[in-house]
């Protein structure tokens, strides 16, 4: 029974504890901010919001504030991109207007994922900065200091707006993922893993090229920024969709290292043992060892599709809510975790029963 309990403890540690954010471990993403300086970025000196002198790096984040005369400004990447997926964490004072720009022209024109943390404005919605024909896609708007999202009368939201308080924390950092591809671009946005926008522009925009820098904004003017307000961006990552990258190699399902486990009468482990439940065990991993010992290469019987092979990712092209594909654990969703756990428990119970039938006079419990 001690061995069974040990195996259960490993299973709990492997799949029931919250994993690290999946996005932080995706190998096809490159970090754009250093957390210590503005390497890779520059202030747009020609932007109509202002010179951007209020941008600094503090506490590992880009911090944007207005300067004298309610001057704002744009911080622009040195590199240009076309089709990309971007992930970042952001915190913004209620009453301030910011945004994340794609295909921007000196920060004056571009596609924008809104971070308009204002009454009757939107976070995660779409706006065309400086377009001759207005682009504004806002199926919901905010109120109640950012704690409530309300349906726009003319549009249908993609998600249940009652979930807003579970995905957006008005006074804390929140993770936003945005994917922009094609021309006119197809734009998708997720907040804390929940998709909130899926929209394709209806026309080609002469104001921007199909390729351009990314940018982050401090809005100029007193109407859309509060005194002492700020916006903070950190852990900004980009995947250039034009650059081939094998997300599966060495991937998300497991990996050498990890937790060794022995279940009901065996010892699992050996070199680089790894436990995977409901996913793929990495190189040298052991899915579940029911008897004997397991070393490098993995040992059946296995409750996973592949034991001992290099870990592979089954992450879809776009993220799904609750996915932990890159966490190093084989879990995918709460449902799959439960199913895998049930299968393992049934296996363990059967093994214990079989051992007791074979050895009815086992030594007394201590």
Asked if residue 55 has pLDDT above 60, the reply is: yes
* pLDDT > 90: percent of the chain: 58
Asked if residue 205 has pLDDT above 80, the reply is: yes
Least confident among 45-54, 219-228, 258-267, 315-324: 258-267
pLDDT of residue 328: 35
Q: What is the pLDDT of residues 87-139, one digit of tens each?
A: 999 999 999 999 999 999 977 899 999 999 999 999 999 999 999 999 999 99
Domain ranges of the chain: 1-21+246-366, 29-240
Asked if residue 19 has pLDDT above 70, the reply is: no
In CATH, what is the architecture of 29-240? Sandwich (2.60)
Confidence bin at 351 (pLDDT 50/70/90): low
Q: What is the pLDDT of residues 125-143, one digit of tens each?
A: 999 999 999 999 999 999 9
Confidence bin at 294 (pLDDT 50/70/90): very low
Per-residue 3-state assignment (H helix, E strand, C coil) for the chain: CHHHHHHHHHHHHHHCCCCCCHHHHCCCCEECCCCCCCCCEEECCCCCCCCCCCEEEECCEEEECCECCCECEEEEEEEEECCEEEEEEEEECCCEEEEEEEEEECCCEEEEEEEEECCCCCEEEEEEECCCCCCEECCEEEEHHHCEEEECCCCCCCCCHHHHHHHCCCCCCEEEEEEEECCCCEEEEEECCEEEEEEECCCCCCCCCCCEEEEEEECCCCCCCCCCCCEEEEEEEEEECCCCCCCCCCCCCCCCCCCCCCCCCEEECCCCCCCCCCCECCCCCCCCCCCEEECCCCCCCCCCCECCCCCCCCCCCCCCCCCCCCCCCCCCCHHHHHHHHHHHHHHHHHHHHHHHHHCCCCCCCC
Average pLDDT, the chain: 74
Asked if residue 162 has pLDDT above 80, the reply is: yes
pLDDT of residue 311: 36
State if pTM tops 0.85: no
Confidence bin at 147 (pLDDT 50/70/90): very high
Least confident among 167-171, 217-221, 337-341: 337-341
pLDDT of residue 25: 46
Higher pLDDT, 204 or 264: 204
């Amino acid at each position: 029974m001690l061995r069974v309990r040990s195996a259960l403890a490993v299973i709990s540690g492997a799949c029931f504890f919250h994993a690290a954010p999946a996005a932080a471990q995706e190998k096809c993403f490159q970090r754009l901010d250093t957390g210590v300086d503005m390497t890779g970025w520059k202030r747009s000196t020609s932007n109509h919001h202002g010179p951007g002198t209020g941008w600094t790096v503090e506490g590992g984040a880009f911090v944007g504030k207005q300067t004298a005369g309610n001057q704002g400004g744009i911080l622009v990447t040195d590199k240009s991109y076309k089709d990309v997926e971007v992930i970042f964490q952001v915190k913004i004072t209620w009453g301030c207007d910011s945004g994340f720009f794609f295909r921007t022209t000196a920060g004056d024109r571009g596609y924008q994922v809104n971070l308009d943390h204002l009454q009757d404005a939107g976070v995660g919605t779409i706006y065309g900065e400086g377009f001759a024909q207005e682009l504004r896609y806002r199926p919901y708007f905010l109120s109640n200091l950012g704690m409530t999202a309300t349906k726009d009368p003319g549009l249908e939201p993609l998600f249940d707006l009652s979930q807003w308080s579970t995905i957006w924390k008005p006074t804390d950092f929140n993770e936003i993922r945005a994917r922009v591809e094609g021309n006119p671009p197809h734009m998708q946005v997720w907040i804390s893993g929940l998709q909130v926008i899926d929209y394709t522009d209806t026309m080609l925009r002469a104001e921007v090229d199909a390729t351009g820098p990314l940018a982050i904004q401090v809005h100029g003017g007193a109407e859309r920024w509060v005194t002492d307000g700020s916006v903070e961006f950190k852990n900004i990552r980009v995947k250039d969709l034009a650059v081939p990258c094998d997300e599966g190699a060495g991937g998300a399902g497991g990996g050498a290292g990890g937790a060794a486990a022995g279940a009901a009468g065996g010892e699992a482990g050996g070199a680089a043992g790894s436990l995977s439940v409901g996913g793929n065990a990495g190189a040298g991993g052991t899915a579940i060892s029911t008897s004997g010992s397991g070393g490098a290469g993995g040992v059946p019987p296995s409750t996973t599709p592949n034991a001992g092979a290099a870990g592979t990712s089954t992450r879809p092209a776009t993220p799904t809510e609750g996915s932990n594909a890159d966490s190093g654990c084989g879990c995918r969703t709460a449902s799959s975790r439960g199913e895998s756990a049930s299968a393992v428990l049934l296996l363990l119970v059967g093994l214990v029963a079989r051992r007791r039938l074979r050895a009815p006079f086992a030594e007394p419990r201590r």
